[in-house]
Chain A
Amino acid sequence: MTALEELMELSREPYNPLVKDWKEKGGKVIGFVCSYVPEEILHAAGLLPFRITPTGCTTTLEADAYFSRINCTFCRACLQMALEGKFGFLDGLVGINPCDHIRRLWDLWRLKAGLPFMKILSLPHRVHEGAVEWYKGEIQIFKGEVEKAFDTQINEDSLGKSIEIFNTSREWIRKLYDLRTKENPPLSGNEVTRIIVALLHIPREEGNKLLERLLNELENRKGISDYRARLMVAGGACDDPEFIEVIEKAGGLVVTDSLCFGSRYFFERVKTDDDLLRSLSMAYLNRPFCAGMAGGERNRLNFNLEMAQRFSVNGIVFQKIRWCDLWGGEAFYLGEKLKELGIPYLSLEREYWLSGQEQMKTRVQAFLEMIGK
């Protein structure tokens, strides 16, 4: 199997062969829902950090007894799978408070399907010097809790190694994105999303090997040329390759993004020549901002523009899951600005699983026609 095929395979379901393997060897798996959780700490403790995606979830029947129809379907789907025991392979869950929905997911998961190890970090919602110090403190406390719970020591040396490993995969992904700047990118947007989802669900060392192989394979893979327009996907969490596929089936090739399941997660390198915990806090907080960061409007806008230009896109598709207030509020500002700047902009609201596909296809097709493609 080629690396690409392997990655596609691994992206299909959370409990993939590599995780099974890890468990059988007696390894522990710790889940987390948001990209602001410092995985390196878990990795340095010999644990497998697992970014949770409700991949394959199609109903929220049980979850909706607690969550409601006005809560984010990504979180409802996560809770559903937790209640169904689909995340039974997790030995713990790291919570965080980027938004109300994810904070409440942590509450409901903990109270209705609690796991052995459950800790939560307090994420700042404004990025400044004091916040970096605060989050460093949070990571410090978290490190202590991990060491205590799994009775191990995380020292400069082991943490340094872990950071290097994660920096490496960040670097590979950046290389991968560089390939997408070409006129005929070797990968489609939904393939990239699948690659990233897979990477977040497997031991990172394995992931890096696969990425390295992939990059070699791609050198002589035929580029994609049968597309009507180059698009960028922006907005809230989007781990659903099928959603990207709807856009691409209509002829809009997704060549880049500003997503926490994409560029935002991979673009910040963690410094290793300084106080490591501080460097972690610094790197995580200084990533291109999530909408949860107050006063981050310009930061977000500029990152979007920068990416749009670097990947020479014809338009930006802003997507958010319905009921997401953070990105729903941001839409107000971003919409106004992109209009001012004359950048074609399509705003799509979606549920975690695709519903009303027909209407979405019509919108995307009309958008492509609108930008004359």
Chain B
Amino acid sequence: MTTADQKSNILEIIAKAYVNWFNAAKPENKWTLEPAVKYFEEAVKAREMGKPVVWGSFVSQPEIFWAMDMFPLTMENFSFLLALLPGNMGHKYIDIAERHHMADHLCSYNKTMMGLAFSGDIPKPDIIVHPLQPCDSGRITYSNMAEILGVPAFAIDIPLLRTERGYSYVADEFERMVSFLEEHTGRKLTYEKLKEAMEWSNRAYAYYFKADELKKNVPCPLGEAFIPPFYMAGRVECAEYAERLYGIGQAKVEKGEGFLREEKIRLGWFSTGAYFDMGMQPWIRKEFGASIVHTMLGSYPGPIEDISTTRKIFEGLARQLLELPMARETGGLAEGWMEYAIRICREYKLDAVFLTLNMGCKNAWALAKLLKDEIADRVGIPTLILEMDALDSRVVSSESIRSAITNFFNTILA
């Protein structure tokens, strides 16, 4: 007997879920859900419309796929959505992965997607493309997944250090990737198509970068939940989202308004959150008057400067790729994350930091004390270290996470 008995198509389930969320949303918020609704509608139909489906990682860029008229699915997205959908759907797939001897200590993002792929509850892709970042767990999972599903895969190798030599190595990898894609899909990448995608992408990155900068204002004008769907970067929807978000933030700043009526404390949330409890952030705002002005997954690098040639674009993408959320933190040497953390604490005028130690994240766990001490010594603000699993509520319940947070506010921030 297996629990994968009752086949269910996760794509359709999530497409439906987004429609429901859209219908339930307040009129003024509907725009934030429009792109995702469209994206998953298309995702369900991608095959019929003859688009090759490519599975990719969330620390990668989809522009090239859109430009080649392929349909990119970000697998971590499913892990995330399955965790927050009612009924802990994610647990089922985590169990399937572990049952097949996938070590229980891998990241639950990866366990969920491996279980999902293995269960057959999501149609096999035509190709898998994954950069070898941000961690061991991600690297081995995508690689194994391709082998087990028997799907051609391309892994973008990532150098350790951010150097010119490194960037051009990654740019070369993009060239190798494109010829791999052309070979397996019979489609050609043209500069015109790529340029068009990059213009939309740049627009999204540029506006969101400015929106993120706005959050440095006191009070912080925007909530942490509003992040453009970068899995659609290279398409108009993502750009429009970013532009609109920036507009809202700008207006608030001009009126001197904050996202919170009264901003008592400015929090930075490094590393992942507890995504199985979507009520947690609102609770923190309400309970402690704290606004979360920076989150790891909500802070993106800027646009690409030079898109005059395909090679220039690859070189730009290479730089951007190594600065994407999480790659920026866990990639390279310890100083990379430490210096970035210090900069964020200062520029965003943080009063305290939440550092989540996701059960799978060997990097965060290994650097937690370095980060905490560095932040205390150089910025002089306290860090709450939260041991939890970002997706698996069975590891640490949201009750105990909330009580840890309450303790922190009632003692150190008292």
The interface residues of chain B lying within 8 Å CB-to-CB of A121 are: 160
Q: Is the CB of B105 within 8 A of A125?
A: no
Chain A residue nearest to B132 in the complex (CB): A125
Q: Is the CB of A122 within 8 A of B106?
A: no
Chain A contact residues (Cβ within 8 angstroms of B): what range?
A: 35 or more
Q: Is the CB of A100 within 8 A of B366?
A: yes
Please count how many residues in chain B sit with their CB below 8 Å of the partner chain's CB atoms.
51
Known A-B contacts A101-B366, A125-B158, A333-B147; A328 and B103 likewise in contact (beta carbons under 8 Å): yes
User: In the complex, what distance in Å separates the CA atom of A297 from the CA atom of B148?
Assistant: 10
Q: Is A291 an interface residue (CB 8 A)?
A: yes
Q: Is the CB of B140 within 8 A of A71?
A: no
Chain A residue nearest to B107 in the complex (CB): A325
Q: Is the CB of B368 within 8 A of A68?
A: yes
Q: Is the CB of B101 within 8 A of A66?
A: no
Q: Is B92 an interface residue (CB 8 A)?
A: no
Q: Is B370 an interface residue (CB 8 A)?
A: yes
**Which residues of A in the span 274-296 have a Cβ within 8 Å of any Cβ on B?**
291-292, 294-296
Q: Is the CB of B136 within 8 A of A66?
A: no
Chain A residue nearest to B363 in the complex (CB): A100
User: In the complex, what distance in Å separates the CA atom of A26 from the CA atom of B157?
Assistant: 41
Query: What sequence of 0s and 1s flags, for each residue 219-250 of chain B, a beta carbon within 8 Å of any chain A beta carbon?
Result: 00000000000000000000000000000000
The interface residues of chain B lying within 8 Å CB-to-CB of A323 are: 105, 362
Tell me the smallest distance from the CB of B8 to a CB of chain A, in Å: 22
User: In the complex, what distance in Å separates the CA atom of A361 from the CA atom of B148?
Assistant: 32
Q: Is the CB of A111 within 8 A of B159?
A: no
Q: Is A107 an interface residue (CB 8 A)?
A: yes
Which of A85-93, A129-137, A164-172 lies at the binding interface? A129-137
User: In the complex, what distance in Å separates the CA atom of A107 from the CA atom of B139?
Assistant: 21
**Which residues of B in the span 151-195 have a Cβ within 8 Å of any Cβ on A?**
153, 155, 157-161, 165-166, 169, 172-173, 176
The interface residues of chain B lying within 8 Å CB-to-CB of A329 are: 102-103, 106, 110, 136-137, 140-141, 143-144
Q: Is B344 an interface residue (CB 8 A)?
A: no
Q: Is A241 an interface residue (CB 8 A)?
A: no
The interface residues of chain A lying within 8 Å CB-to-CB of B45 are: none
Q: Which of B130, B135, B333 contacts A100 (CB 8 A)?
A: B135
User: In the complex, what distance in Å separates the CA atom of A65 from the CA atom of B153?
Assistant: 40
Q: Is B97 an interface residue (CB 8 A)?
A: yes
**Which residues of B in the span 92-121 have a Cβ within 8 Å of any Cβ on A?**
97, 100-103, 105-107, 110, 114
Q: Is the CB of B160 within 8 A of A120?
A: yes
Q: Is A97 an interface residue (CB 8 A)?
A: yes
Tell me the smallest distance from the CB of B249 to a CB of chain A, in Å: 36
Q: Is the CB of A332 within 8 A of B148?
A: yes
User: In the complex, what distance in Å separates the CA atom of A69 from the CA atom of B107?
Assistant: 15
Q: Is A352 an interface residue (CB 8 A)?
A: no
Q: Is B369 an interface residue (CB 8 A)?
A: yes
**Which residues of A in the span 198-222 have a Cβ within 8 Å of any Cβ on B?**
none
User: In the complex, what distance in Å separates the CA atom of A276 from the CA atom of B165?
Assistant: 21
Query: What sequence of 0s and 1s flags, for each residue 59-98 of chain A, a beta carbon within 8 Å of any chain B beta carbon?
Result: 0000001111111100000000000000000000000010
The interface residues of chain B lying within 8 Å CB-to-CB of A124 are: 157
Tell me the smallest distance from the CB of A274 to a CB of chain B, in Å: 22
Q: Is B353 an interface residue (CB 8 A)?
A: no
Q: Is B146 an interface residue (CB 8 A)?
A: yes
Q: Is B359 an interface residue (CB 8 A)?
A: yes
Known A-B contacts A104-B334, A323-B362; A122 and B160 likewise in contact (beta carbons under 8 Å): yes
Q: Which of A104, A295, A347 contacts B146 (CB 8 A)?
A: A295
Chain A residue nearest to B100 in the complex (CB): A332
Q: Is A57 an interface residue (CB 8 A)?
A: no
User: In the complex, what distance in Å separates the CA atom of A322 from the CA atom of B166?
Assistant: 32
The interface residues of chain A lying within 8 Å CB-to-CB of B106 are: 325, 328-329
User: In the complex, what distance in Å separates the CA atom of A66 from the CA atom of B362?
Assistant: 12
Q: Is B22 an interface residue (CB 8 A)?
A: no
Q: Is A307 an interface residue (CB 8 A)?
A: no
The interface residues of chain A lying within 8 Å CB-to-CB of B360 are: 325
Sample 26 A-B pairs with CB under 8 A, ordered by A number: A66-B369, A66-B370, A70-B365, A100-B135, A100-B363, A120-B160, A121-B160, A122-B166, A125-B155, A130-B157, A134-B159, A295-B143, A295-B146, A295-B153, A295-B155, A297-B147, A322-B105, A325-B103, A325-B107, A328-B105, A330-B140, A332-B114, A332-B148, A333-B144, A335-B100, A335-B101
Question: 8 shortest A-B CB distances, which residue pairs?
Answer: A328-B103, A329-B140, A122-B160, A107-B334, A68-B365, A104-B366, A325-B136, A294-B155
Partner-B contacts on A (CB < 8 A):
65-72, 97, 99-101, 103-104, 106-108, 111, 120-126, 128, 130-131, 134, 137, 291-292, 294-298, 320, 322-333, 335-336, 347, 349
